[in-house]
Amino acid sequence: MLNCTDGIATNRYSTIMASEPFIDDGFEERWAAWQAHGAAHDRATRRKLFVLLAILMLSGAILTGVWWL
């Protein structure tokens, strides 16, 4: 716990607060790659779910047709 009345502690932490902000030059490229990866994953998941739903619907239609016979 910090002691607000301690002059040494305030000097020690003031140098950290006064430092220059960190500039990340590659952030935009990494963020674009992350978004592209997420979009590709979403497309693959959507495709798998579509195939699964199609198989389930066809199976249901076949089973219903057999049941009516």
At residue 68 the predicted structure's pLDDT band, cuts being 50, 70 and 90, is confident
CA 51 vs. chain centroid, Å, equals: 24
pLDDT tens readout for residues 11-48: 555 555 556 667 788 999 999 999 999 999 999 999 99
Predicted local confidence at residue 22, as pLDDT: 75
Report CA-CA distances (Å) from 46 to 49, 57, 64: 5, 16, 27
Which residues have CB under 8 Å from 2's CB, separation 6+? 9, 13
